[in-house]
Structure 1
Amino acid sequence: MNLTNFDIDTFLRDYWQQKPLLIKNSWDGWSDPLEPDDLAGLACEQGVESRLITQTGDNPDLPWVLEHGPFAESRFSKLDHKRWTLLVQAVDHYVPEIAALIEPFRFIPNWRIDDVMVSYAADGGGVGPHFDQYDVFLIQGSGRRRWQVGGHCDENSELLFHNDLRLLADFDATAEWICEPGDILYVPPGIAHNGVAVGDDCMTYSIGFRAPARSELIGYWADDLLADMQDDDRYCDPKLKVLNNPGEIPADALDQLHAMITEKLNDRDAFAMWFGQYSSTPKYPDVDWQPDEPLQMLQLQKYLARGLQLYRNPASRFSFIREPSQIHLFVDGKQFNCTGESAIFAETLCAQSAMHMEQKWARSDKVQTLISELYGLGSISFAPLDQD
């Protein structure tokens, strides 16, 4: 599916990370890529992150109750007909049709894309007024949802006392829309919003984007640096001079101590290689996508000769950093240094979720080696189903 009534340049200039935007009738042909029963089935599986939020009148000041999956199938039969919603994270990892929803939004760099969360809500269901720290496109599927947006929020915004949910204590709507199938609402980071299902069978597909915090970058980057540091790399002062007051920490000592830290943190090349690996680490790194059997070179050459289509694993993350003489490809936290034909192949692979294998790739040993390694990680596969 492709977006219609949508100008990318205008959106990036006037709306991205600035203000909400409702895009009506945004697809050239919309149909729900997932059935509610299939979503409920995913929520019952181990390893799939899911939540169920119900609302009760027992406590009017705190009506939202959160449960974490996996759920027993019988749980859904016990739900009321109103005021509940099921949310399943990273559905794009398991359903190719959901992963395809990301493609029209690839004007945002790969490393910024997080996942597609899918929600199903009964009449009146929602998660309450809140704000997120990331950009999100909210695609309305079946049913209808009333969206309200408010002002900008931050860490100082007052929240309701709740053990599980971060809900705004005060929410004043500044705009309101009813979203119908195929409509999209873009909400920037920090903007208060509240969505409530209007009627039953309300499906919403949320494409979220990552924005690392400064504290997160510093913390993980420093942890990585510490792992390679030696204990004998210490402060030294062989030209020590007698001070008038032994209690003083002199400026030259502070300069040297500060330099010991900053010269490591300021290594941009090292940071770039670290960030490529860090940002491409899968959302759920403990999930093993590796094939049961490694790809033998003769089998690979047969696939290449037949021109089979190559698919990226929707759960995998692909990005690259360009240098004058090579491409550093990052896939699922691994780094691959590519030159020549393998560099061209790496760029093509990052740009396309699926690609037909050209004969020039079949003639390149470097490309074949790269394909074999990525296949072994479970990051790519061939169609149809890797069969002869």
Structure 2
Amino acid sequence: MNILVYPHELAMGGSQINAIELAAAVRDRGHNVTITAPDGVLSSMIRQLGLDYVPIPRAPYFPSVATAFQLSALARRIDADLIHTYEWRPAIECTFGPHFFAGTRMLATVLSMDISHLFPRHVSLIVGTQQLAQTRPAQKIWVLEPPIDDERNKTRDVIAARSRWGFHDDEIVVCVICRLTTDLEKVQGVLEAIDVVGSMASSFKLRLIVAGDGAGKADVDTAAASVNCRHGREIITVTGELLEPDAVYEASDIVLGMGSSALKGMAFSKPLIVQGTAGFWRLFDEQSVNLFLYQGLFGHGGGGRVELRSILEKLAVDKDRRTILGNFGRSVIEERFSLDFMADRLIEIYQQTVSEKQPLDKRLGSMSRTLFDVAKFRAKMEWHALRYAVRGRSV
């Protein structure tokens, strides 16, 4: 098959890394795969994996009519049998581009925590959790959990990794790797973790390493500097964005995170504390595993700093428990999230999608509804932009 893969961006992030790793695995199984997206830091990963990459201009607004036409031309050029999009914007641009004009089959993956109301109802979806699949009972949906390359992502040299940041053998290192943005309250969780580790550092030999970048990094830097100044030594290490953060996972004793970042921590045999919104923190263990396999490595509502401190205190004093939980997490990755298994399953989904026939009336009805919803969305965005501009001039 000739497959065009269109992630929504190439900034550092779980959805787009999954798209690239799966694309390479599908290519390695004998299919022709091309990736297209606006240029970003992950374009180097695409090149390292030897994948064909066609950059497209970054549109000033989304979804973009110009991008839809560019996708149509690219799909014709590579004779695409299928276009696989990631997240809502690429799905809409492909729907009203090559899918509409040439009838090219398409499939969309959603690894967000919800499915946008703008999504075309006739387009088959892949989601990461059973819980999300149940929100669209009338739509064809496959559940394909985020893949992890369990051969590449595993512990190899802890001593070298810890020496990179000067962590001592008797220190307990907690890590968090994420985009430092307000999306899913990621940066809020990082700031909570900095506060908690800072408050525990006098009683425990605890360190925290934060890897990532984003709009909230200045706040993270400020909070880290405050804790370090208070203790007179470095308790919080902020690395910024790392294209290859494997050494951070390897250097750590405990991982905090959500989604793909959390899964990678488990692949490195580290105990995981799952982060969510509104103060959610919960240990991934034998009691919570079924819940997280259903809803994904995420949650909403909890005890915030108090809950996080309680979990960390128990793990900090029990090295054997940390080892048991780390091995348990690794076994879950090998059984449920292996990249090889996911790639084989994805090819099966591709083959089904290409061979399926969709009634014209169903496609037209779905696209008409989506076109109306997108027009309302764009009008609303433009209205808000106009109000903001008028307010700015009046100040």
TM-score range, shorter chain: under 0.3
Bigger radius of gyration among the two = 1
More strand by share: 1
How does the TM-score come out when normalised to structure 2?
A: 0.24
More helix by share: 2
